[in-house]
Amino acid sequence: MTKRTIENFDISQICESGQCFRMMQRNGNVYSVIAAGRYLEVEQEGSECVFSCGEEEFEKFWRGYFDLEKDYSFYISQIDPRDGYLKGAAQFGSGIRILRQELWEVIASFLISQQNNIVRIRRCINNICERYGEPKVNFRGEEYFAFPEPEALAHLPEDALKECNLGYRSKYVVRTAASIAKGETNLENICRMPYGQAKEELLKLFGVGEKVADCICLMGLHHTQAFPVDTHIRQALDKHYKRGFPKRRYKGYEGILQQYIFYWELKNGGKAADAAKQARKKGA
């Protein structure tokens, strides 16, 4: 076990933020995570966290995975004090961090995410892992499955993953897996590219559009300037940023702020932000 006191870290918020689909609430304040073939449980009370791994594994892998080297209070402190909506969103989701996930898993996950919801995405990914992933055993003696490598899916017929409830997205994942397995798409090269170039390469993949490319850049490559725009973000922009989100002011970490907005809109549609805004007006 490894214990840490961590500010601006909330495992429940991270779990529900739509970044990672192999994280789930196990019971109460205990959450499980499967990443890079590893299994972890995190128990949290306030800022006190207990990780079910030794110090060496925590320092070698999980510290980086959860992006614990970064001071997220800095990003929140830089928000324009006149922007009540963004301040409210950041306060609401202040425990979110941008995970450092494996690129291939993120690509497949966000191909599956299109026209889908978080519950169904998790189910689809769980089905793929159980059918094609490598079986492993966690510290409790329970079986779990690693995310399948591209080679495990590359040989499949394009509609094979419909059996895993992917629907039309099956061909996106299978074709992309084949492209990677054949060496047509080099993930190591993409990992070394700057944001703009990486996004351009990702857009070449079958089924990847602007939003999915930016999701992959943010969640899979940790390009925190990527600003994915989905339905939730579009609604927030139309309502609160008619002239566009002030990316220049937050250059380099606008993607982190995007996650606060996304989580806020996902959980309550921004209603709390509107209420806070009206309360401030009445108190003025």
> How far apart are alpha carbons 192 and 215 in whole angstroms?
17
Q: Hey, which residues does 31 pair with through a beta bridge?
A: 25, 42
Specify whether 171 is catalytic: no
Q: Residue type at 12?
A: S
Give residues with Cβ within 8 angstroms of 82, minimum separation 6.
none
Instruction: Give the active site residue among 162, 211, 267, 277.
Output: 211
Dihedral of CA atoms 230, 232, 234, 235 in degrees, nearest 10, equals 160
> How far apart are alpha carbons 122 and 71 in whole angstroms?
29
Give, rounded to a whole angstrom, the gap between the first and last alpha carbons of the chain. Answer: 50
The catalytic residues are 211
